[in-house]
Structure 1
Amino acid sequence: MGDRVDREEVRKANEVHVLDYLQSKGEAMEKQGHYYRHPEHDSLVVKDSGHWYWNSRSKGGYGAISFAREYYDMTFQDAVRDVNTQDHSKTFSREAERHVAKEFEYPLHQEVAKHENISTYLTEERKLNPKIVAALVRKGLLAEDKLKNGIFKWKDSAGKIVGGDRQGTVKMDNKRGSFKQIMANSKEDGGFRLDIGSPNKIALFESPIDALSYFELKRPENIRLLSMSGLKDQSTTTGIRDLIKDCKERGAVVEQVIFAVDNDAAGEQFVERWSNYLTNFEVDKPKNKDWNIDLVEAKTPVKQKEPKKVIEVER
């Protein structure tokens, strides 16, 4: 491709917000106030303004080009080309430079009428029951965007969309295997939730797919399944508070809080911290690392060994 890039290529790459670039590369940045933190490098943060800092390396910069050079170890020319060849959703606006917290606005213009890619992904790759997937679409909790990502919509008690998770359906060459992202300006203490019956219990998960896998495996009744999209104290606090309020309006009470987070060290630490504040709670651990792995394992036939053939010797 040569060692030169022209001014137009550089200008075009400079207009790409670093968070849009990261989104297209499948890097699942976690929103924390006015900045985003990398889940695998917790000292690497990107601000709404487009400035990024890698504190452990004492590095920093502005924009997608400088980030690509540092994080992916690219030359300037290769960084410009890589930024320009990605399929950007343009979710993050230059207006973010004002550092003003914006209310979430669901990007309806990015949604497509069909949902075959996310439906196929959830049923074939993640082994969820097609009826559950169809019900989510019917209830307006699941959709698909123009980039073939599934969108798990976060709705509050009034039915208003306050955020969302994007889940890729195409395999990517990253540690997660597919693209995942919390949508820009999603309510910080929100999350994907699904009410079963008249909820008087709440179960907390690290992802929407884990919550749905748990539902299919356990078929609980009268429960609110809430994904924190990670391990977020603010989502836990607001989730419990909202259920108390909803129960009170029905003349009911919250009977139990269930922690159904991943079966790993981070999940254990999260539960241990919350055990200092709650008295009536239960811990429901998946057998494997998470509930979807349990579901996939339960639905994968065990290959039986073929009986050894007996070789008869003529006498």
Structure 2
Amino acid sequence: MGDRVSKAEIDQASEIHVLDYLQTKGEPLLQQGDNYYRHAEHDSLVFNTNGKWYWNSRNTGGMGAISLARELYGMKFQEAVRDVNGLKITKTMDFSKDTNKEFIYPNHYEVSSIENAKNYLVNERCIDEKVVLALRKHDLIAEDKLKNIVFKWKDKVGKIVGADRQGTTKMENKRGSFKQIMAGSKSDGGFTLDIGRPNKIAFFESPIDLVSYYDMIRPDHIRLLSMSGLKDHTFTTGIKETIVECNERNDTFEKVIIAVDNDAAGEKFSQKWEQILGDEMLQIDVPKNKDWNDDLKQQRALERQKQNQIVPPFSKNKEAEYER
């Protein structure tokens, strides 16, 4: 009879909203106005809150999660149905038309321990355990019931205005693990870490790159801000807010630092803003490898290598040889 799926399986998969499916798969989505979302890595792939999608560069489109799974992942129809039904769908997308709706952080998803998050950040990402525990102490990270790390976006009064979720286990996708911006997060916000009295601001593509940079450089009096991608709106808002806060403290704002990935997209972003801001205000920090976490991993490997190269004590024969 061949490979088949039942009508009940098809009906079940057909009820899953395409955006909920993508969120659960860990695909990065950007809200574009009231009714549209765009894929952060395939900018011509757009989605309507009514469930329709269209991939402009491929001149193709469809309705629902099944058709999208076939196009995006190259699945057969039966594979797509099973993939949609096999996920624990995270229904976090807000399809209401109230764009001014306040972000509500889902506290009930948090667990009391951050053991999985800590193990991932320390052992997989090579971040100093003391840094991880400090982030926890200041309520900037948490762990949810699905063992994801939650990076909380907080405004200047400590209110949570959004969050990134980062998986701690491997997934079968090109990013290797689950990544998601929580639905309803402030469109021009991002994970922020303030050190001292910030009189400069540095921008990154992800919270883990931000923390890796801090762990390596340990800068003073700086605001570190993750754009969760390359977002002009977040970039400009971050600069304006930091300058305003400096003025309120009668401090002089020093500079903007772009510390995005060492790739074509990062270079294009840096060059664009270099032309706008000029050399005096802008500093560009480029990682040696693809990103700052790769640099941190390399640094930790070199540190371990040096520790292993400690000269052992002389053997008795060597001591006798040395005395002669």
- When the two structures are superposed, what TM-score results if normalisation uses the length of structure 1? 0.89
State whether residues 31 and 182 of structure 1, in contact with CA within 8 Å, keep that contact through their aligned partners in structure 2: no
Q: Which moved more, 1:41-50 or 1:208-217?
A: 41-50
Partner of 1:26: 26
SS at the partner of 2:277? coil
Identity of aligned residues (%): 59
- CA displacement at 1:2 relative to structure 2: 5.0
Measure, in 2, the Cα distance between the counterparts of 1:282 and 1:64: 43
Measure, in 2, the Cα distance between the counterparts of 1:267 and 1:72: 26
Q: Which moved more, 1:215-224 or 1:80-89?
A: 80-89
Q: CA RMSD in A?
A: 2.0
Runs (4+) of structure 1 moved beyond 6 Å?
Answer: none
Partner of 2:56: 55
Measure, in 1, the Cα distance between the counterparts of 2:219 and 2:20: 38
Q: Which moved more, 1:289-298 or 1:22-31?
A: 22-31
- CA displacement at 1:267 relative to structure 2: 1.4
In the alignment, structure 1 segments of 5+ residues that lack a partner are: 306-315
Partner of 2:110: 111
State whether residues 40 and 229 of structure 2, in contact with CA within 8 Å, keep that contact through their aligned partners in structure 1: no
- CA displacement at 1:283 relative to structure 2: 1.1
- Give the AA of the match of 1:20: D
Does 1:185 pair with 2:184? yes
Q: How many residue pairs end up in the alignment?
A: 301
SS at the partner of 2:242? helix
1:10-48 Cα distance to aligned partner (Å, 9 max, x none) = 343233221221222232333443433234432212233
In the alignment, structure 2 segments of 5+ residues that lack a partner are: 310-324
Measure, in 2, the Cα distance between the counterparts of 1:99 and 1:79: 30
State whether residues 153 and 164 of structure 1, in contact with CA within 8 Å, keep that contact through their aligned partners in structure 2: yes
- Give the AA of the match of 2:118: S
Partner of 1:162: 161
Q: Which moved more, 1:60-69 or 1:31-40?
A: 31-40
State whether residues 45 and 54 of structure 1, in contact with CA within 8 Å, keep that contact through their aligned partners in structure 2: yes
Q: 1:292 to 1:75 in 2, by over 3 A?
A: closer
Measure, in 1, the Cα distance between the counterparts of 2:296 and 2:17: 38
State whether residues 51 and 62 of structure 1, in contact with CA within 8 Å, keep that contact through their aligned partners in structure 2: yes
Which structure has greater helix proportion?
2
Measure, in 1, the Cα distance between the counterparts of 2:13 and 2:44: 25
SS at the partner of 2:185? coil
SS at the partner of 1:275? helix
Measure, in 2, the Cα distance between the counterparts of 1:62 and 1:229: 27
Measure, in 1, the Cα distance between the counterparts of 2:209 and 2:235: 16
Q: Which moved more, 1:271-280 or 1:178-187?
A: 271-280
Measure, in 2, the Cα distance between the counterparts of 1:271 and 1:4: 49
- CA displacement at 1:55 relative to structure 2: 1.4
- CA displacement at 1:288 relative to structure 2: 1.2
- CA displacement at 1:199 relative to structure 2: 0.7
- Give the AA of the match of 2:17: H
1:43-85 Cα distance to aligned partner (Å, 9 max, x none) = 2122333221111222222221221233334344432222111
- When the two structures are superposed, what TM-score results if normalisation uses the length of structure 2? 0.86
State whether residues 164 and 186 of structure 1, in contact with CA within 8 Å, keep that contact through their aligned partners in structure 2: yes
1:247-278 Cα distance to aligned partner (Å, 9 max, x none) = 12212121111111112221121111112332
Q: Which moved more, 1:171-180 or 1:217-226?
A: 171-180
Measure, in 2, the Cα distance between the counterparts of 1:237 and 1:110: 32
SS at the partner of 1:202? strand
Partner of 2:45: 44
State whether residues 28 and 41 of structure 2, in contact with CA within 8 Å, keep that contact through their aligned partners in structure 1: no
Partner of 1:261: 260
Measure, in 1, the Cα distance between the counterparts of 2:74 and 2:273: 40
